[in-house]
Every structure is written in C-alpha cells, then in structure tokens.
C-alpha cells in the first residue's frame, strides 16, 4: 500500500470534481461568454436574433418611401390618397412590428445580460477567493471591488443595449444592401466597391481604440487603488495632513486616464468621419452611376434607382447609428478581457477552486499526531532574494503546547503561515503524520486549525454570524458552546440582542478583550485539532489580558490533549508552562527546549528573558511585552472608536440577524433618492455639469460649431437628394438630368468632406470635454469624501467599500451620458430642428403639422425613458453590500483563509446580487417598453407625414416637388433624431448618477483640514482639558468622557492608563481634532483648540499608533509620509533613531514597495517605520498610543531610548498598558468610565493603593 494510504489521510486529488469548469476558449472574450450559463446565453442569442429581425425591417422603409414618392408624383389627380393608402397601412404594420420586436429583443437582452453580469461578478469573486495568498501579495487588493464594479457596469451597459443595436445595425446594413441588390444588382455592385474600405478602416482603427481604452482602464484601476487605500487608512492620512497629497496622487492617475480617453475619442472621430465621407461618396456614386445607367437605355426606372439609394441609406444609417456605441463596445471589450485575466489566471498552486465549490463535502482528516518541519527554507514569492527561514527542523506532537519566540522579523509568524499553508516551503518539507502537507486537501486541512491573531478581524455582522463564519452549518447551540469555552457567553447573554448583536465593521463595536475572546470562540467553533495563537493578548490592558490568557490556559483543562497549541510570543511569561519553546533568529532555530531548559542554557532565550526581567524590575511589570506577528491588522489603530466602549455600554450595540442583513445597514452610501422625489439640487444637474466644465469654455464654441455644422449639413443633403431624385423622372431632357445629377453628386461629396471635419471635431472636442469633466467630478467626489470629519466614516452607511463602489457606478453612468452620446443627441436635436426650419421652404402646412408630431413623439419618448430608467434604491443598496463584502474578503484574505470562510463570503455576495437581480427583473419590461415605443413612434411620424403629403397634394393643390422637399427634410431630420432613443437610457441613469455625485460633493465637512485657517501661535504650549464631555456622533446616548480636567505643561511627559474602553484614546483623538467636544474646553496656550488652523495644528503632532498603517509605496516614501520634503539623509537619520536595522542591512531596500498596509513587513518592522515617520516630522507634541507594542524586548529598549533622546523639550502624551514604559512620566492620569480617578507620578500612585496599584498588581500576576 502507498504511503499516502498508510497515513489514513486523503490525497488532494480525491477532492477534485470530475467535471471540468465551463468552456474556456482561447480568446479572452470567449472566456467571458464561457462563464455565462446556458439559459443566459440563449436569452442573449434570442435578443440578438430578434434585434436582427427588427433591423431587417428598417430598410423596408426604403421600399415604402419609394412607393410613396411614386404615388405622389405619378398618381392621377384626386386619387393620390387612395394610391397612398396601401403604403400607409404597410407603414402602420411596420410600426407595430418594430414595437413588438424591439420590446422583445430589449427584454431578452436586459434579462440575459443582467443575469450574466451577476454571474460574472460572482464568478470573479469566486476566482479571487480561490487564488493563493502569493497572488494577493503581488496584486494590490485595494480597489479590486471598485474595479469590478466599473467593469461589470461597463460590460452590462453594452450587453443590454449596445449588443442589440449592433445586431440590429448589422442586420439593417445587410438587409439594405440585399434590397438594393434585388432592385438593381448592377448599380449595387458598382456602389458596393467602396464598402470594403469601411470594413478595413473600422478594423484597423478599432484595434487602436481598444488599446487606448485598455490603458485608460489600467489608469482608473490605479486611481481606485489609491482612493481605497487612503480611505481605509483615513485616520493615518488625516493625522499626517496628507489629504491633499492623496488627492494629488488620485488626480495624477486620473490625468493619465483622461489622456488615454481623449486619444481614443479622437481616433473614434477619425473613424466615423472617414466612414461618413465614404457614405457620402456612396450616395454620390449611386446618383451619378444611376443617372448614366438610365440614360444608357436600361430597363430600369428612376424608381429602381431611388429604391437602391434609399435602401443603401437605410443600411448605412444603421452603421452610423451604431457609432455612439463604439466607445461602449471598446470599453466592454477591455472590461471583459480585464475580468478574464483574473478569472483565467493559472496561479492556483495551493488553493483549489474546485474545493471551494465543493466545500460542503470536504474529506475527513483523522487525528493529527505529529507535525514535522524537515530542513524547511522559505522565501516570499514577492521577495525571492530574501531568505526568511533557513534549514528549519522541528516536531510538534499531539496535545503539546509549543511556542515560537525571537526578535521581530525572525520568522515566527512565517512559520504560522506555513502551517496554515498560506505558502509552501521553497525547500524542505512539512509533514503531517509522516505525509507531506502539500498532499493534503488544503481546505480540509485548514478546517482542523483554529487561529487567533493579535488584532483579530471580525466581519461586519452579528456575533452569531461571526462565530459561524468558518462553519456555516453549525447550530446555534454549538456556537453558544464555543462562546462558553471562550469565556464570553455570559457577557453576550447580558446584551439586549444577545448573540444577534451587531459587532460593527472589523468588530469596531467590541472592546479589545471582547474581540479577542470572540475570535477565540470563532476558532473553537471549528473544533480544531490545532490552535494557532499569534500573540493573542499583547494588545490588551493587564486585566483584559489576564481574562483572555486564563481562557487560553484553561482550554487544555476543558478539552484535554485533543488540541495542539502553537503560539507566537514575545512576552515570555505567557509561555513559561509550555512543553516546548523554539527560539528563532534570522530564520533559524538556534535553541529549543522547555522554559527551564532554555534558561539553563544561558543563550539567546536567556538574553530575551533577562531583558524582560530588567524591564520588570524597572517598571514592576514583567508581563507587558509586544508581538511580532505579520498577519494583517485592521486599518484603525487601537483607539477608542465610536463603539469600543466598556462592557457596561455594550447593550447599546445594534443588532443584525445575518451577515447579509447586517451589511445592508452599511449600504446606503449616498442617501439615494431614486423613487421619484426630485430634490432641489437635482433639477439643476445639467446646469451644474456645464458650470463644472467652465475650464473648457474656450472649447465649447468649437465643439458646438462642429455639431452645428453636422446639423446644417442634413437639410442641405436633403435638398441635393430632392434635386437629384426629381431629375430621374425627366428623361426627356437627358442633358439637363445628367447635369443636375452631376451637380448633386459633387455637392454630396463636398458634404462628405465637411462631415469628416465635423465628425472629427465633434468626437475629439466632446470627448475632451467628457474626459475633463468626469475627471473633475471624480476628483471632487473623492476630495469631498477624504476631507470629511472622522465621524462621517464612523457611520455604518459610510463604509469605504460602499462609498467607492457606489461612486464608481455613478461615474461610469455619468461618463456614458456625456461625450459622444451627448454630442450625438445634441446633433440629432439640431438636425431635427434645422430640418424642420428648412422644411418650411417647401410646404409650411406640412412642416407645421409634422412639427407637432415630432414634438409629441419626443415628449413621449423622453418621459417613458425617465420613467423606465429610474434607479432602484434597494438595488443600489444591495449592490453596495456586494461591493463591501468583496472588499472585506480580499483585503482580509488571510482571515478568510484561516477560517475557511470563502463560501460564507461568496454567499453574502450572491445573496446581495440576488436582490439586485430581483429589482432588475421588475424593471425589465418598463425599459423594453420604453425603447420599443421610441422606435415605433419614428415609424408613426413617417406614417403621418406620408398621409399628410398625399392629402395636401390632392386637396390643397400643392406642388408635389415642394411637398417632397419638406417631407425629405423631415424624414432626414427624423432619422437623425431617432438616434436619440438609443441614448435615452444612459441619459436617464446618468442624470440620476450625476445628481447623487453632486449630493456627495455638496456635503460640507465640520472639521476641514484642506480649507483651514485660524490661529497659528503655540504661545506657552500648555494643554488644558477643562470639564470635557464627549459622546461619539454615531452613538450620542453613550457618554465616553464625563467632564475630565487636566493640564499638561510644555515639555512634560504624561501618560494615560486605565482599562479598555475607559476613554484614553478618545483623548488622543480629540487632541488630533478628529472630533470636536460638545461641552467643556480644550485649550492650547490658553487658546481654544477649535480656533487653531487644523492643518497647522496637526503638523505640530507626531503620532505613533499601536497598529500603525503603512502604504503600498516604497519604504523611503513611507518614512517621508507627512514630511515629503525631507531629504534621504534626514530619512536615514530618523530610521537610525528608530532602530530600522532592516533598512540598513539590506533585508528591505529603500525603494521596495511594502504592499497593502505594509504587509510585507513584520509587525515590529512596521512599528519602527511608524516611529521613524513620526520622528522625521520633528513635532512639538508626541502622541504615543502603545508605540512599542509590536517590538521584541531588544528593539523596545532601543526605541524607548530613541524616544527619550528625541524628546528634546517636546511634550509627550502616552497611552499605555505596559506600565514599565511610563515609569519616568511626569504625570500619570488613571482613567475609568470616562473620568480621571487618580493622578500623580508612578511612585505616588503606587503608594495611593488605588486603581493604578491594582493594575500594577494584575500585571505582576
């Protein structure tokens, strides 16, 4: 029997499905089609077929028009109406057929494409959740949800409308050519010689257009990454005064996208300008050759030539009408390829997407008796030159308690990630029960592991949903048992909503201790065989730490030896009772043994213990040492968030019954108003867009001149058409007929040249205006968001992902409304107007009557389009939820992986999109009816025009030539105006989207650091709090500070201590002016803090948070963040003071990008970078929120000395749990329940024997 069988463990191959995934073509666009279900494919194909049939009917108007002209010019007097009636009946039948077919194909395409879009989004998210962690290391996760939103919206916009017009236009073209061939094949064959030029020109330039839009898509993706990373780290951005820098970076990427868009629009202008010129040449050639053909004595009549001409006009007008959808088609192709690049990626060396789809049938893994590392070496795939683990060998037996210790960056957390199988070793092997770990089904393996990190990430859901996140099939009783084992059940049962209590984004409504115990419950709910603890208590105060540590220590008593515990620790007192301790240094295991054995060796472990013992003697606090974990932390530092209150305040938490319903509370990002109630500002959306485009005012005259030129050309073309057509019926004077035809043909060619110039100007100039306007709108919207007060981001409805997802949808819709669509709509309206005006030259009676028809048709079309395309608020909310859930999953992918919660996250997205699909189905018939009615109204105007023409000629005695002139002007104008119906959906949705964007832009910030002014004098620099009371705006009923008063003199070092949730970090946030206090006063140098220039004030502050946030820029740029003008020498000096040895020994180069939130660095490395960042600013006030919590004891002592050295008369305010770090403080304020209970020096407070003394005693224990 094979070794794999003897182990009793199933192999990875056993979990694979026998069926392959859906069709995957070689072309990326075919991949997108292959990811669509059969039902949706059939609907889309049916829609295209019906659209093609509808397109084939359009050229029939050429035949009917020809018959109408013949009836007007050749029928006996008094019988013209009678001769016209069969044609009028046929036109009525054609209008009904147009309505029904358009209704049907639009309904089929909207239904098919809407479901296709939902499936693609789900498939995309499934693909993301199925990729290795190394893929996320190499790709920026920030902005993925925003990009996905834009790509799906772009693809859906084309598939639901543009695809139908593509099929209709193509069918219209071929039908027109077919009718022309049938009527006179000789003439058609000659004229058709120009058609290949259309195809060649379109193919060549189309490829260039696609490339331009592809570059624009990449630029927009980079801009979305910048926006999302900045908003996820908004507190860091604000406290370092980098709002303007973030806006500048965002604008830089938008500028590149704008240039690419402008180039694409110019190319489109040249394409359609050349095609319009060819159209004119085809018309001229038809007239010229047709006239000479008749003179040559053929058996054909002028009616045949007219039929050929009108058939070609109808056919070519289909191509011309599709011109407005060319940018959409190019953008849709780019979006499809971009999505396919992700969904078709072949980097699943560890993760198995088939496993994700079959997660409910994971194979059973028997008892894990032995975990072995044999000569394991490891390099991160994104840093192949840096060896993290070298020749590591160790063994862990079932039921043992094992710990990894060592300095920051020594490889401890990398070892945890290898056990989780986030990565595979570069060399060597990890064995489970003697079987290679790589041979085990990865998801089944992770199901046996429970993980608790230093800063656990909770999902924005209820407590119950979080506990069940890794095991959705778990019963409520099982979840409650896990909570009991974690020691948190009794607390949860005291809450009003009990286990249905909503925990907030990343668990923000829970205190640190509550989050840790809830994370432990979540891990235990999986019933793991292996429990991984990555410094699970270092971020807590001594009381909370003692509670959580007792919970962890008691697990073996409750569960026996069925659980193997593996810990990463800096604080050696937490692992003294462990069975085996491995000491890592530079990626190697330099020592191993029990605590006592290692102490007897007097080696590396002894040195670590001695350093911590020294700190204990100095500060009477032996246990408060930091962590070096590398799992991703939440964006916000360990501050008192609006919801991180003490236990007694937990009953005010909101509740939710599921993750989907909980996330729905965070969906209404802009306060949508789609249900019909028009707001005051929405009425002026168009005017505001023009005002916003004021910088392009110099271009507007040329832009409108180009469309005016295009509009004026149409009636002139009608005039030349009328002259040429009339000449066909006067064969007696052949010389005059040929002369008139020659003049008309030459005039049409000249019109084609003018049309070329007009089209290039129209597309290029309006494309320029569109790109500039959309860039400006995006920038203003982002600027409006990032300059908002922090309280804005505390709101559940203003989650970053929801904001950006909704914003991207709005910008996409506004973009679709503007540019070529807008230019074509204005051109069509002007063409219609100029044609109507010109029509009065012929018969003013007919012109007046048809004017009424046209106005009525336009009014009805516009009203039905606005009615049918009004956005649905629930659908927008659900879409925002899907975006938020996607962002939460990809930015916290390690937590999702560790929990095995991929299916859970995917279900949230699926449920949200099901809600969107439900509302889309309700709107499908309305939208289809709107478009069908718009198309039918065009035919009805034709009907009325021909009947009136016949009646006026018969009863009014008007000249048929003048009536035809009026009729052709109206017909040509109406054919142009009919194109507006194709753009009405974008106009309707774009108008609402612009209104929502302006509503966001109009919101004012109550604390605006960008447009700031005020006091700029420190005076004596003293800081005074006097009777300050404060409640977070999101929870006004909960008092966080209850009248605190204290004074910090210039140059003093003071500390704030107390239990979690006592208000310490709230004081720090008030000093940074994240919030304003409603009562009491905060004064600096005797001046109210609110009177200071906010930007200037924040420049005086140096802030180091417990969980610092870095950015995906180079190491040098991260240190310079907040001080971009610093020189490299100054950067290196700050790094030297912060003990950033890894920057000097080559482990991390100064130019190396650090990844999302600095994830490529260990916890200690990130902390030292943040300290260097604060030191570099040379602040007058240092705010330290557990600034050394993530450092090993050696680095901590060096940093403490560095901080002491850079004090230099600066005021220092420290939030501390580790009492040894504040022993030398001039004043210590002990906080409890939002009040200062004790104050004094370290020794004075110990002698007092109060709260501070109790904290010190808890630490000693």
Best-predicted range by mean pLDDT among 472-486, 991-1005, 1110-1124, 1144-1158? 1110-1124
pLDDT tops 50 at residue 645:
no
Other C-beta atoms closer than 10 Å to the C-beta of 733 total 11
Contacts of 54 (CB under 8 A, 6+ apart): 97, 98, 101, 102, 105, 168, 171, 935
Number of H helices, E strands in the chain: 47, 20
Average pLDDT taken over every residue of the chain: 75
User: Read out DSSP for 1101-1118?
Assistant: EEEE-SS----SSBHHHH
**What is the reported pLDDT for 338?**
78
Tell me the mean pLDDT in the region 63-80. 75
Q: Look up residue 357 and give its two tokens.
A: 């789809």
Residue 1054 bridge partners (DSSP): 1213, 1227
Three-point CA angle 428, 434, 439, nearest 5°: 70
**What is the reported pLDDT for 1229?**
92
pLDDT tops 60 at residue 18:
no
Which among 1250, 1051, 1186 has a CA at the least distance from the CA of 535?
Answer: 1186
pLDDT tops 80 at residue 422:
yes
The size of the chain, in residues, is 1261
Q: How far apart are CA 868 and CA 925, in angstroms?
A: 9
Residue 436 bridge partners (DSSP): 431
| Residue pLDDT, tens place only, 1122-1160 | 888 888 888 988 888 888 888 888 788 888 888 777 777
Which among 733, 716, 753 has a CA at the least distance from the CA of 291?
Answer: 733
Question: How does residue 660 score in pLDDT terms, banded at 50, 70 and 90?
Answer: very low
| Residue pLDDT, tens place only, 1049-1064 | 988 889 898 876 678 8
Cβ contact 151:342 at 8 Å? no
**What is the reported pLDDT for 87?**
84
**What is the reported pLDDT for 142?**
64
Q: Look up residue 1151 and give its two tokens.
A: 């130019």
CB half-sphere exposure, 1062, CA atoms < 13 A? 22
**What is the reported pLDDT for 679?**
39
Q: Look up residue 447 and give its two tokens.
A: 């199901």
Cβ contact 313:62 at 8 Å? yes
Tell me the mean pLDDT in the region 942-964. 77
Q: How far apart are CA 1187 and CA 626, in angstroms?
A: 10
Q: 143-147, 945-949, 1060-1064, 1181-1185: lowest mean pLDDT where?
A: 143-147
pLDDT tops 70 at residue 732:
no
pLDDT tops 70 at residue 631:
no
Answer with the residue of higher pLDDT: 1026 or 735. 1026
pLDDT tops 60 at residue 627:
no
Q: What is the CA radius of gyration of the chain?
A: 36
**What is the reported pLDDT for 1005?**
81
pLDDT tops 50 at residue 654:
no
pLDDT tops 70 at residue 451:
yes
**What is the reported pLDDT for 677?**
39
Which among 688, 827, 823 has a CA at the least distance from the CA of 765?
Answer: 823
pLDDT tops 80 at residue 237:
yes
Percent of the chain with pLDDT over 90: 1
**What is the reported pLDDT for 1065?**
80
**What is the reported pLDDT for 506?**
63
Q: How far apart are CA 1072 and CA 740, in angstroms?
A: 82
Tell me the mean pLDDT in the region 1198-1225. 76
pLDDT tops 80 at residue 981:
no
Which among 413, 406, 412 has a CA at the least distance from the CA of 604?
Answer: 406
**What is the reported pLDDT for 1074?**
87
Question: How does residue 344 score in pLDDT terms, banded at 50, 70 and 90?
Answer: confident
**What is the reported pLDDT for 1244?**
86
Phi-psi region of 646 (alpha: psi -120 to 50; beta: other; left: phi over 0): beta
Q: Look up residue 1108 and give its two tokens.
A: 């610092």
Tell me the mean pLDDT in the region 207-217. 70
Which among 304, 31, 22 has a CA at the least distance from the CA of 188?
Answer: 304
| Residue pLDDT, tens place only, 242-266 | 888 888 888 888 888 888 888 888 8
Which among 849, 848, 1038, 838 has a CA at the least distance from the CA of 943?
Answer: 849
User: Read out DSSP for 227-283?
Assistant: HHHHHHTHHHHHHTT-HHHHHHHHHHHHHHHHHHHHHHHHHHHHHHHHHHHHHHHHH
**What is the reported pLDDT for 916?**
78
Q: Look up residue 1010 and give its two tokens.
A: 């960008």
pLDDT tops 70 at residue 30:
no
Tell me the mean pLDDT in the region 1091-1107. 85
User: Is the CA virtual torsion 1111, 1113, 1114, 1116 positive or negative?
Assistant: negative
Q: How far apart are CA 896 and CA 241, in angstroms?
A: 33
Q: Are strands 1041-1048 and 1023-1030 parallel, antiparallel or unpaired?
A: antiparallel
Tell me the mean pLDDT in the region 1172-1201. 76
pLDDT tops 80 at residue 1234:
yes
Tell me the mean pLDDT in the region 321-335. 71
- Strand segments, DSSP code E, in 462-507 are none
Rounded to 5 degrees, what are φ and ψ at 528? Answer: -75, 155
Tell me the mean pLDDT in the region 746-774. 86
Q: How far apart are CA 456 and CA 627, in angstroms?
A: 13
**What is the reported pLDDT for 1202?**
67
Q: Look up residue 1218 and give its two tokens.
A: 């580790």
The helix/strand/coil state of 365 is coil
| Residue pLDDT, tens place only, 363-418 | 667 788 889 999 899 988 877 877 888 888 888 888 888 989 887 778 888 888 88
Q: Look up residue 915 and give its two tokens.
A: 């809600």
**What is the reported pLDDT for 1026?**
92
Answer with the residue of higher pLDDT: 824 or 233. 233
Q: Which residue has the tokens 């699909």?
A: 917
Alpha helix locations (H) across 869-1022? 873-891, 893-899, 902-956, 960-977, 980-1002
Tell me the mean pLDDT in the region 603-632. 52
Percent of the chain with pLDDT over 70: 76
User: Read out DSSP for 419-455?
Assistant: HTTSS--SEEEEEETTEEGGGS-HHHHHTTEEEE-SS
Q: How far apart are CA 785 and CA 964, in angstroms?
A: 59
pLDDT tops 50 at residue 1010:
yes
Q: How far apart are CA 860 and CA 503, in angstroms?
A: 50
Q: How far apart are CA 447 and CA 453, in angstroms?
A: 17
Cβ contact 672:996 at 8 Å? yes
Best-predicted range by mean pLDDT among 713-717, 918-922, 1170-1174? 1170-1174
Tell me the mean pLDDT in the region 848-872. 72
Cβ contact 1040:1030 at 8 Å? yes
| Residue pLDDT, tens place only, 1018-1039 | 788 889 999 999 987 876 777 8
**What is the reported pLDDT for 616?**
47
Which among 88, 277, 145, 157 has a CA at the least distance from the CA of 754?
Answer: 277
């Amino acid at each position: 029997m094979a070794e794999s069988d003897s182990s009793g463990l199933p192999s990875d191959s056993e979990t694979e499905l026998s069926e392959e995934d859906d069709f995957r073509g070689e072309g990326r666009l075919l991949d997108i089609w292959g990811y669509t279900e059969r039902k949706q494919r059939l609907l889309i194909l049916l829609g295209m077929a019906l659209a093609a049939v509808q397109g084939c009917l359009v050229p029939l108007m050429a035949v009917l028009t020809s018959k109408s002209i013949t009836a007007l010019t050749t029928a006996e007097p008094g019988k013209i109406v009678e001769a016209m009636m069969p044609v009028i009946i046929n036109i009525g039948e054609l209008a009904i057929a147009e309505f029904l077919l358009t209704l049907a194909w639009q309904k089929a395409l909207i239904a098919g494409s809407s479901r296709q879009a939902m499936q693609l989004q789900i498939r995309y998210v499934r693909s993301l959740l199925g990729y290795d962690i190394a893929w996320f290391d190499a790709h920026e996760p920030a902005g993925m949800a925003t990009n996905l939103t834009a790509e799906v919206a772009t693809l859906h916009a084309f598939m639901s409308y543009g695809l139908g017009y593509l099929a209709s236009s193509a069918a219209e073209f071929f039908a027109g050519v077919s009718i022309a061939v049938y009527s006179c094949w000789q003439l058609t064959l000659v004229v058709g010689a120009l058609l290949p030029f259309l195809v060649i020109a379109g193919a060549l330039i189309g490829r260039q257009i696609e490339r331009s839009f592809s570059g624009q898509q990449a630029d927009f993706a980079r801009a979305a990454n910048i926006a999302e990373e900045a908003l996820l780290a908004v507190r860091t951005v604000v406290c370092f005064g980098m709002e303007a820098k973030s806006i500048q970076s965002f604008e830089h990427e938008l500028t590149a996208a704008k240039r690419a868009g402008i180039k694409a629009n110019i190319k489109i202008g040249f394409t359609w300008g050349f095609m319009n010129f060819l159209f004119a040449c085809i018309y001229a050639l038809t007239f010229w050759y047709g006239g000479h053909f008749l003179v040559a004595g053929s058996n054909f009549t002028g009616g045949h030539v007219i039929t050929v001409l009108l058939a070609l006009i109808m056919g070519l007008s289909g191509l011309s009408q599709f011109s407005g959808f060319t940018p959409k088609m190019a953008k849709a192709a780019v979006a499809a390829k971009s999505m396919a690049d992700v969904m078709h990626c072949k980097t699943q060396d560890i993760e198995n997407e088939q496993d994700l789809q079959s997660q409910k049938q994971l194979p059973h893994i028997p008892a894990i008796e032995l975990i072995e590392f044999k000569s394991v070496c490891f390099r991160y795939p994104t840093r192949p030159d840096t060896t993290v683990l070298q020749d590591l060998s160790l063994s862990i037996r079932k039921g043992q308690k094992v710990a990894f210790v060592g300095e920051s960056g020594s490889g401890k957390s990398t070892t945890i990630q290898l056990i989780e199988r986030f990565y595979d070793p570069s060399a060597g092997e990890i064995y489970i029960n003697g079987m290679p770990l790589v041979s085990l089904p990865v998801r089944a393996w992770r199901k046996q592991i429970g993980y608790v990190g230093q800063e656990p990430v909770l999902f924005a859901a209820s407590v119950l949903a979080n506990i069940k996140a890794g095991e959705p099939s778990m019963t409520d009783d099982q979840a409650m048992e896990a909570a009991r084992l974690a020691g948190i059940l009794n607390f949860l049962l005291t809450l009003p909503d009990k286990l249905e209590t909503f925990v907030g984004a990343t668990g923000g409504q829970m205190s640190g201790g509550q989050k840790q115990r809830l994370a432990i419950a979540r891990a235990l709910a999986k019933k793991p065989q292996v429990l991984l603890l990555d410094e699970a208590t270092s971020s807590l105060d001594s009381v909370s730490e003692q509670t959580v540590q007792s919970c962890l220590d008691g697990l073996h008593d409750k569960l026996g030896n069925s659980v193997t515990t593996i810990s990463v620790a800096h604080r050696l007192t937490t692992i003294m009772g462990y069975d085996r301790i491995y000491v890592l240094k530079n990626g190697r295991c330099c020592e191993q043994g029990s605590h006592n054995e290692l102490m007897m060796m007097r080696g590396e472990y002894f040195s670590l213990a001695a350093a911590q013992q020294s700190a204990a003697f100095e500060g009477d606090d032996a246990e408060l040492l930091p962590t070096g974990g590398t799992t991703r932390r939440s964006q916000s530092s360990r501050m008192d968030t609006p919801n991180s209150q003490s236990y007694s305040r937990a009953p005010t938490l909101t509740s939710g019954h599921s993750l989907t319903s909980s996330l729905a509370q965070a969906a209404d990002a802009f306060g949508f108003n789609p249900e019909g109630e028009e707001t005051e500002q929405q009425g002026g959306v168009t005017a505001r867009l023009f005002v916003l485009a004021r910088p392009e005012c110099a271009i507007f005259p040329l832009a409108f001149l180009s469309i005016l030129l295009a509009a004026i050309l149409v009636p002139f073309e009608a005039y030349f058409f009328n002259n040429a057509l009339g000449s066909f019926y006067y064969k007696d004077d052949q010389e005059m007929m040929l002369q008139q035809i020659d003049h008309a043909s030459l005039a049409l060619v000249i019109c084609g040249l003018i049309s070329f110039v007009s089209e290039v100007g129209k597309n290029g100039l309006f494309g320029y205006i569109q790109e500039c306007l959309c860039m400006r709108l995006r920038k203003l919207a982002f600027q409006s968001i990032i300059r908002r007060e922090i309280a804005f981001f505390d709101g559940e409805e203003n989650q970053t992902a929801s904001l950006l997802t909704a914003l991207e949808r709005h910008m996409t819709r506004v973009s679709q409304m503007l540019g070529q669509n807008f230019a074509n709509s204005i051109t069509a309206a002007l063409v219609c107007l100029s044609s109507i005006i010109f029509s009065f030259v012929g018969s003013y009676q007919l012109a007046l009557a048809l004017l009424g028809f046209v106005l009525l048709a336009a009014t009805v079309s516009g009203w039905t389009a606005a009615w049918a395309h009004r956005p649905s608020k629930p659908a927008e909310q659900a879409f925002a939820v899907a975006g938020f859930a996607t962002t939460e999953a990809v930015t916290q992918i390690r937590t999702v992986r560790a929990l095995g919660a991929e299916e859970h996250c995917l279900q949230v997205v699926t449920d949200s999109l099901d809600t969107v699909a439900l509302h889309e189905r309700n709107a499908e018939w309305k939208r289809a009816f709107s478009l069908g009615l718009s198309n039918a109204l065009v035919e009805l105007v034709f009907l009325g025009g021909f009947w009136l023409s016949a009646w006026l000629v018969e009863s009014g005695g008007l000249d048929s030539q003048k009536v035809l002139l009026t009729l052709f002007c109206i017909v040509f104008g109406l054919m142009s105006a009919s194109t507006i119906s194709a753009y009405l959906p974008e106009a309707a949705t774009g108008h609402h989207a612009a209104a929502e964007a302006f509503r966001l832009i109009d919101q004012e910030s109550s604390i605006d650091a960008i447009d700031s002014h005020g006091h700029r004098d420190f005076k004596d620099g003293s800081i005074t709090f006097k009777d300050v009371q404060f409640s977070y705006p999101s929870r006004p009923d909960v008092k966080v500070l209850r009248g605190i008063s204290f004074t910090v003199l210039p140059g003093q070092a003071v500390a704030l201590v107390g239990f979690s949730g006592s208000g310490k970090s709230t004081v720090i946030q008030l000093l940074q002016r994240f919030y304003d206090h409603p009562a009491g006063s905060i004064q600096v140098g005797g001046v109210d803090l609110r009177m200071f220039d906010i930007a200037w004030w924040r420049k005086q502050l140096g802030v180091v948070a417990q969980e610092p946030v870095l950015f995906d820029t180079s190491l040098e740029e991260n240190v310079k963040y907040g001080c971009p003008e610093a020189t490299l020498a100054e950067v290196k000096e700050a790094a030297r003071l912060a003990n950033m040895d890894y920057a000097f020994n080559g482990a991390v180069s100064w130019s190396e990008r650090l990844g999302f939130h600095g994830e490529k660095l260990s916890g200690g490395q990130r902390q030292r970078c943040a300290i260097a960042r604060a030191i570099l600013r040379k602040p007058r006030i240092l705010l330290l929120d557990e600034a050394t919590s993530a450092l090993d004891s050696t680095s901590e002592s060096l940093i403490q000395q560095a901080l002491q050295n850079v004090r230099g008369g600066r005021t220092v305010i420290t939030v501390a749990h580790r009492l040894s770090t504040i022993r030398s403080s001039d004043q210590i304020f002990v906080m409890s329940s939002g009040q200062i209970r004790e104050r004094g020096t370290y020794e004075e407070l110990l002698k007092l024997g109060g709260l501070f003394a109790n904290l010190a005693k808890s630490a000693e224990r």
